[in-house]
A and B are shown apart, each in its own frame.
Chain A
Amino acid sequence: MGWRKYFLVARLSMREASAYRVNHVVSFIVVAAPLIIVLLLWETIYDQQQKIAGLTRSQVLTYFILTRWLFELTGPAVWWEITSDIRDGTLAAHLLRPEDYQAYQFASIIGAKLPYAVVGLIVIFPFALFIGEAFLIPDSGLVWGGFLLSIALAMMMGYLFTYLFSLTAFWLEEGRGVELLADIAIPFAMGSMLPLSFLPDAWEKFLSYLPFQYLLYFPVNIYLEKLTREQVLLGLAVQIIWIGALLLINKVVWDMGLRRFSAVGG
């Protein structure tokens, strides 16, 4: 198996994405701008109390800055490149080459997201300065290690969801429904609007059974040192199990989709 071709795909995709640097900066600023309001709002709320649902003021402010950045890396989406390949038939060109399409798109998406993440860091930095010393930075190497590892796994998971959502194009002429799901319900379940511990118990419990918190809530909780070592290890294991499960699900859906793709004749 040649991995080199996929590294090259990631590199090309990165190059392509870098061509749109300015565009990235602008879109990240647009995405991040409301953050200032969120931060001011929580500053005010914390005037009245020390802790809410176990989180201090610093932790909450850091939480919102960090999740805003990380979301761009791990959040699932309906990926236009995949859906258009399927809908206009360009997928055939991929099938004819010595290539694994899932690996190809993984490399391509990671390559496209990395420059965006770097731009994101630059845009997010002033926000960290804005809240000053309230921005927490862990000093334990172990915490950093767990955090980075969980991000890597979350990116895998996020990609596998992206791929799964995009494969619906085999059946759906038009994917607004799936897009709404990916854009609104899932970010909520990931913890991008509120830390999940702020939710009513029933909700928190329900969402804890879903895989989406492992895309965002879990890595950030490692960073904020809210978890014991056992909880971190367990969480990482759950991420790995989900990756395995998604690989299987995607394989089944892909095979079904291909059968469907071939049925549309010419």
Chain B
Amino acid sequence: MNAAIEVENLTKTYRVPIRRPGLKGAIKHLFARQYRNVVALDRISFTVQQGAAVGYLGPNGAGKTTTLKVLSGLLHPDEGHIRVLGFDPWRHEEAFKKRIGFVMGQKGQLWWDLPAHDSFELLREMYEIPSRRFLSTLQELVERFSVKDLLYVPVRNLSLGERMKMELIAILLHEPQVLFLDEPTIGLDVMAQHEIRLLLKDYQKRHGATLLLASHYMRDVEDLCDRILLIHQGNILFDGSIDEIKKHYVPFKKVSFTLSRPVESEEVFSQWGEVQEYSGSQVTLTVAEHKVTQIMQLIVTRFPVVGVSVQDPSLEEVIRVAFSTFDNGQGGRDGVA
């Protein structure tokens, strides 16, 4: 397999003007501007194989959008070597533009007062998609997105969810091999979010497209991605699969027992793990990963257990732990244990 995205030592610094408050500050600013440098990306490197789906996670201002903008050619990198499908994005070659797609939250490219079909026709001209190809791709997309009946309705009359689907079709029409997604489901209700995810997954699978997804919604990432890049303050903290990240930062599982009769005190359980929930007959413990089997056996033999469940910590919890360990002294595993 070939690498679709190669990033080596990518650095990007913004120059932000410093403005002092008040009239005096404003006048001063006019004549002698002062700037401070904000490092958005600090020598990050990663590679994404063709056909892979990678989730790009980090708090606001971590550098997610900056990375996507550099990779799509919207921003010039200060330093570093970048190749997307073998192209240097900053050269803005048409051949490159025709191979990528960038989904930007609610910023769209559809003509508001016209039916979506008109905007699609325009994209066919822009991307020089052969007519037959255009028809079959469009047909397939509108059927899978179940918006066939809405093609000739003015965009302004569509619901937000319907409009997002149309926006997505607009970006998929030229069948991009690399898709950058920046908060693709922002502002949508849970059902619509779910639908958009399925459609993206479906497209990715059928076309073997490469996906780089920045999102705040963990479900987006869990449903779509097989690999995660954690980014914080311009640095990559972690690069691996969802399972690996869970093991790395939170090597625990949640074990819940339902008992046929209540136990007097929760203290008996604390020798095996931290008690998270206790209500007499219902107990939830966090247990170190490698001890789960052993402890479950112990409890089952000593208490009247009628139900057991073992749960992974949610990705959200994992991410929270990951960032807080980083903030509390740059630690990795040590900070948690």
A: residues with CB less than 8 A from B are: 2, 4-5, 8-9, 12, 15-16, 19, 88-90, 92-99, 262-263, 265-266
> Are B73 and A266 in contact (CB-based, < 8 A)?
no
Report whether over half of chain B's contact residues are helix, strand or loop; otherwise say mixed: mixed
Bound: A93/B69 CA distance, A: 11
Across-interface contacts of A2 in B (CB, < 8 A): 125-126, 128
Within 8 Å by CB of A98, from B97, B111, B118, lies B97
Number of interface residues of B (CB under 8 A): 35
> Are A262 and B111 in contact (CB-based, < 8 A)?
no
B: residues with CB less than 8 A from A are: 12, 14-15, 38, 40, 64-66, 69, 72-76, 94, 97-98, 100, 102, 104, 107-109, 111, 113-114, 118-119, 121-123, 125-128
Given contacts A92-B107, A98-B98, A265-B66, contact A5 B122 (CB under 8 A): yes
Across-interface contacts of B122 in A (CB, < 8 A): 5, 8-9, 12
Within 8 Å by CB of A96, from B66, B100, B121, B125, lies B100
> Are A266 and B118 in contact (CB-based, < 8 A)?
no
Across-interface contacts of B40 in A (CB, < 8 A): 265
> Are B102 and A96 in contact (CB-based, < 8 A)?
yes
> Are B104 and A16 in contact (CB-based, < 8 A)?
no
Given contacts A19-B113, A266-B69, contact A89 B14 (CB under 8 A): no
Bound: A242/B100 CA distance, A: 38
> Are B125 and A5 in contact (CB-based, < 8 A)?
yes
Bound: A4/B119 CA distance, A: 14
> Are A97 and B97 in contact (CB-based, < 8 A)?
yes
Top 9 A-B residue pairs of the complex, sorted by shortest distance between their CB atoms: A266-B65, A5-B125, A98-B94, A16-B113, A93-B109, A265-B14, A98-B97, A262-B75, A5-B126
> Are A98 and B127 in contact (CB-based, < 8 A)?
yes
Bound: A5/B104 CA distance, A: 23
Across-interface contacts of A97 in B (CB, < 8 A): 97, 109, 123, 126-127
> Are B127 and A95 in contact (CB-based, < 8 A)?
no
Across-interface contacts of B65 in A (CB, < 8 A): 265-266
Within 8 Å by CB of B121, from A8, A89, A265, lies A8
Bound: A99/B97 CA distance, A: 10
Across-interface contacts of B119 in A (CB, < 8 A): 12
Closest to A5 in B: B125
> Are A90 and B107 in contact (CB-based, < 8 A)?
yes
> Are A262 and B107 in contact (CB-based, < 8 A)?
no
Given contacts A5-B125, A97-B126, A263-B15, contact A89 B107 (CB under 8 A): yes
> Are A262 and B114 in contact (CB-based, < 8 A)?
no
> Are B111 and A99 in contact (CB-based, < 8 A)?
no
Within 8 Å by CB of A8, from B38, B76, B109, B125, lies B125
> Are A16 and B111 in contact (CB-based, < 8 A)?
yes
Bound: A238/B111 CA distance, A: 37
Across-interface contacts of A266 in B (CB, < 8 A): 64-66, 69
Closest to B214 in A: A266
Bound: A105/B100 CA distance, A: 23
> Are A96 and B74 in contact (CB-based, < 8 A)?
yes
Bound: A16/B109 CA distance, A: 15
